[in-house]
């Protein structure tokens, strides 16, 4: 549109003519929007607000009297506030390139001033401190001309051919070189040790490989030997199992034959022997019972016969005494004793006969049969004498009375 002007984003539009701007400025400042400007009656100019750069290469003398060439770069621009734009417009609107030249000269002066108060060591080791002090000292002066500094960078510090900086860095350089040599030696030693370890590991690996190969070879040989022996061993085991089975079969056959023999011969023989034994025992028992019965019957009959014959026996004994030479010393009592003895002798004879019938040996019997067939009667009382004895004048005799 005719007469309507709009500044760029990094520009400030200065409109002169007509009424004055703020704070008595000779022009009005427009930024960020357009403005209708009457032609012929108003004049419009543009001031850059973009970032500008200034380089400084200045020879400065330190507090030690050593000349140093310092190179720096300053980044600056016109301030964004209305006052800074007015101040910069009044100074640099007609020749905006003068901003970089003037800024470089201002910072060159401040660098000489500040470096003159510092030593080379401080300048070299504390560059940021140098830059900060330069910015602080130039801030007020730069604000007066409407400029603001964004940064200051010290690019290089050179002592020319004096060699001071080199000499200053020599101990550090030597220490660094020494450390580098030590590090190199340590690295070389570590490399050699690593090589030795690698060689030992390779040798150990080769040894282990050889051992494993030998073990594998031994296992293969052993497996081959076992495989070669497997056939004969299997055959031998099979024959052994066959022999064992045959032995077991023979033992079972022998046991079976033994059982058959026992069943066919021994058991029938034992049964027959048992039958015979039982029959013999039964027969013996029968005969014993019959003998016992017969003996009992005979004994009863004999006892009856002896009892019946006892008076005759006593009579015969008494008859034998009739012709005997008997001396009776005690009268009627003696005769009674003789009679009692005869009866006792008869009873003794009866008892002896009974014992003989029961199977006794007869040696302990009360009656004995002599070789000439006489019977000796024992138990007569004292005072009797045997026939045929000479009269010795004694009144008694020992021993039995013989009956012819």
38-48: average pLDDT: 81
Averaged pLDDT of the chain: 76
Residue 341 to residues 253, 321, 382, 389, 398, Cα–Cα distance (Å): 84, 12, 11, 21, 14
Taking the C-alpha atoms of residue 251 and residue 254, their distance in angstroms, rounded to an integer, is: 5
pLDDT at 327: 52
Does residue 370 have a pLDDT over 50? Answer: no
The token pair at 13 is 């539009």
In DSSP terms, 16 is beta-bridged to: 27, 43
For range 349-354, the mean pLDDT: 64
Model pLDDT for residues 76-129, shown as the tens digit of each residue: 999 888 888 888 888 888 888 889 999 999 999 888 889 888 888 888 888 888
Q: Is residue 19 scored above 70 in pLDDT? A: no
| pLDDT of 181 strictly over 60 | yes
The pTM for the full model equals 0.41
- Please state, in angstroms and rounded to a whole number, the distance separating the CA atoms of residues 65 and 317: 197
Q: Give the DSSP per-residue string, 308-344.
A: HHHHHHHHHHHHHTTTS----SSTHHHHHHHHHHHHH
Which carries the bigger pLDDT value, residue 344 or residue 215? 215
| Residue, of 316 and 179, whose pLDDT is higher | 179
Q: Quick one: tokens of 251?
A: 């033992």
Residue 156 φ/ψ region, left for φ over 0, alpha for ψ in the -120 to 50 degree band, beta for the rest? beta
Please name the helix (run of DSSP H) or strand (run of DSSP E) that holds residue 251, with its range, or none: helix 164-261
* Reported confidence tier of residue 196, pLDDT bands at 50, 70, 90: very high
Tokens representing 401? 């009375």
Which residues is 74 bridged to in the sheet?
54, 152
User: How many angstroms separate the CA atoms of 243 and 240, rounded?
Assistant: 5
CA triplet 61, 67, 68: central angle to 5 degrees? Answer: 95
Beta-sheet pairing, 67-78 with 35-36 = unpaired
Residue 47: beta bridge partners?
Answer: 12
376-393 pLDDT, tens digit per residue, is 333 334 443 443 443 434
Q: What percent of the chain has pLDDT over 70?
A: 72
Angle at 135 between CA 130 and CA 137, to 5 degrees: 95
| Closest by Cα among 365, 391, 392 to 376 | 365
Of 54-63, 66-75, 261-270, where does mean pLDDT reach its minimum? 261-270
Q: Which of 171-185, 272-286, 324-338 has the lowest mean pLDDT?
A: 324-338
228: pLDDT strictly greater than 60:
yes
pLDDT of amino acid 156: 87
Q: What is the pLDDT of residue 197?
A: 92
Question: Tokens in use for 182?
Answer: 């030590």
pLDDT value at residue 371: 35
Give the strands of the sheet with 52-61, arranged side by side.
Answer: 52-61, 67-78, 147-158
């Amino acid at each position: 549109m005719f007469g309507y002007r709009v500044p760029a984003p990094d520009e400030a539009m200065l409109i002169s003519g007509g009424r004055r701007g703020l704070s008595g400025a000779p022009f009005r400042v427009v930024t960020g929007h357009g403005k209708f400007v009457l032609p012929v009656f108003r004049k419009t100019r543009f001031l850059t607000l973009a970032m500008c750069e200034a380089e400084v290469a200045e020879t400065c003398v330190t507090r030690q009297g050593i000349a140093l060439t310092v190179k720096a770069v300053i980044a600056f621009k016109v301030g964004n506030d209305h006052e800074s734009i007015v101040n910069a417009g009044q100074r640099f609107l007609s020749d905006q390139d003068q901003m970089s030249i003037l800024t470089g000269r201002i910072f060159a002066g401040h660098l000489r001033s500040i470096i003159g108060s510092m030593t080379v060591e401080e300048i070299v080791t504390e560059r940021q401190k140098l830059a900060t002090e330069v910015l602080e000292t130039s801030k007020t002066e730069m604000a007066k001309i409407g400029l603001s500094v964004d940064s200051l960078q010290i690019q290089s510090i050179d002592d020319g051919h004096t060699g001071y900086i080199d000499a200053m860095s020599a101990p550090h350089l030597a220490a660094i070189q020494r450390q580098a040599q030590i590090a190199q030696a340590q690295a070389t030693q570590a490399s050699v040790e690593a090589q030795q370890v690698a060689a030992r590991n390779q040798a150990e690996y080769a040894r282990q490989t050889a051992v494993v190969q030998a073990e594998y070879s031994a296992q293969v040989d052993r497996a081959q030997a076992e495989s070669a022996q497997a056939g004969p061993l299997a055959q031998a085991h099979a024959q052994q199992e066959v022999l064992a089975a045959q032995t077991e079969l023979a033992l079972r056959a022998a046991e079976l034959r033994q059982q058959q023999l026992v069943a066919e011969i021994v058991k029938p023989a034992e049964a027959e022997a048992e039958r015979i034994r039982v029959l013999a025992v039964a027969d013996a028992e029968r005969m014993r019972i019959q003998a016992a019965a017969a003996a009992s019957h005979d004994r009863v009959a004999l006892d009856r016969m002896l009892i019946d014959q006892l008076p005759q026996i006593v009579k015969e004994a008494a008859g034998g005494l009739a012709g005997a030479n008997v001396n009776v010393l005690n009268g009627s009592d003696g005769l009674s004793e003789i009679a009692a003895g005869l009866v006792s002798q008869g009873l003794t004879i009866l008892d002896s006969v009974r014992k003989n019938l029961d199977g006794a040996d007869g040696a302990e019997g009360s009656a004995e049969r002599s070789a000439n067939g006489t019977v000796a009667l024992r138990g007569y009382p004292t005072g009797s004498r045997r026939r045929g004895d000479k009269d010795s004048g004694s009144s008694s005799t020992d021993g039995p009375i013989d009956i012819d």
